[in-house]
Structure 1
């Protein structure tokens, strides 16, 4: 039975992913900001078949506590087989354009905190010569758009970091999985007008579970986003900057 650390465990995608691992009888160490939400999630996962569930309250932006959190997970579960990093925010692009403070806040949450966690966790898994590290990135990181380029910058940087980490850890038998969802109907996108390309978190969660089990490299969820982003990335810059892609 797998022993899994999930950071950002209260996110909709993380919850849906955890349900599949719970059915396999996994042990969980859940990390998030809200103890109340984690308690509710833990109860649900227990009913679904999870063997053991422990929780740890943490704001992922508090970089100084990352090592403490990992140490607590290892002390509690003894070892880790998998890590899923799923925390993040979708802040206001307009506020970021007006404020350096807001821009850096978004970059710290969506990029710097992720890199801190990956750096610490990578060393652990590298020493073990096995394991799976999965991170929720986004198709927004594939090309900048005027409506969310600060968020996209963070996600794009995370994806590049994961490429290098994957290259480094492959020799140690550790899999690094980059998850790139498209539009997902979650609380984080509650203020965004929904269109035909939006999908449910349950579909993405199942895809994340399968990608981690199969030790994929890069996965677009749902699958058709791979084709969409191939086309988007192929558009010449002189044309792309005139398009109203939002």
Structure 2
């Protein structure tokens, strides 16, 4: 049995991951932005939930307090999952700096403000697992989502440095490079065969966490696909509307 804290617990993916952990007897502390949705998740997971807090993730001091509260309730934290995010409005972010700042804060700054107290806790504990959902959108900038993608790339880079810092202390840092998933977050986006389901990716995320792998493409087929996308020469990339188009 492990003690797990989940940030962004009301997201469809985090909810499915929490179900897997609850089913195997782990104790959960859940943090989500929407109080009503969080209450529904808590009810669905039942006695596995040791505590929960409804909170946004925009205030760094509040985020540190959330980590402290999770430690107080659970006694110790064995695993932390950071799963919140926001696709934002790409076109608006190109015109309105406030939208760009909001997207970057939601997907990068808020994540870092959680990682700082979590990393310090795990370093002192000399054990633990940090699992953070990033995105394949951060592999290469594309017109359809480059503000979101830039924030996710920043998360991935931050986690690379954090992984090296915490490795000598027995702490695993796992970056989940997630492909598109059919969830409420992607409502309104055209779906294709590359979209996965939340239960499918949840199983992959749990497996990656258990194996303490540094990085995992979820689903797995995004690894070869993104290897190709990353290495397409820039001149050719600009001519391929499937890659460089809106």
Question: What range describes the TM-score normalised by the shorter chain of this pair?
Answer: over 0.9
- Tell me, in whole angstroms, the C-alpha distance in 1 between the residues paired with 2:93 and 2:240: 22
Residues 28, 53 of structure 1: 8 Å contact kept: yes
Can you list the C-alpha shifts for 1:32-76, whole angstroms capped at 9, x where unaligned? 112221121112112xxx534311111011222011111111111
State the partner residue of 2:12. 12
TM-score for the superposition, normalised by structure 2: 0.96
Task: Spell out the pairing of 1:68-79 with structure 2 (5 A cutoff).
Answer: 68-79=65-76
How many residues get paired? 243
- Tell me, in whole angstroms, the C-alpha distance in 2 between the residues paired with 1:57 and 1:140: 28
Task: Spell out the pairing of 1:1-246 with structure 2 (5 A cutoff).
Answer: 1-46=1-46, 51-244=48-241, 245=243, 246=245
**Deviation of the 1:238 alpha carbon:** 1.7
**Deviation of the 1:115 alpha carbon:** 0.9
SS of the aligned residue for 1:98 comes to coil
- Tell me, in whole angstroms, the C-alpha distance in 1 between the residues paired with 2:48 and 2:17: 16
Can you list the C-alpha shifts for 1:76-108, whole angstroms capped at 9, x where unaligned? 111100000000001110000011111001001
**Deviation of the 1:161 alpha carbon:** 0.6
Residues 13, 198 of structure 2: 8 Å contact kept: yes
Residues 42, 53 of structure 1: 8 Å contact kept: no
> Which stretch has the larger CA shift, 199-208 or 58-67?
58-67
The alignment's C-alpha RMSD in Å is 1.0
5+ unaligned residues in a row in structure 1: which ranges?
none
Residues 10, 41 of structure 2: 8 Å contact kept: yes
Q: Name segments (4+ residues, structure 1) moved above 3 Å.
A: none
- Tell me, in whole angstroms, the C-alpha distance in 2 between the residues paired with 1:178 and 1:184: 17
5+ unaligned residues in a row in structure 2: which ranges?
none
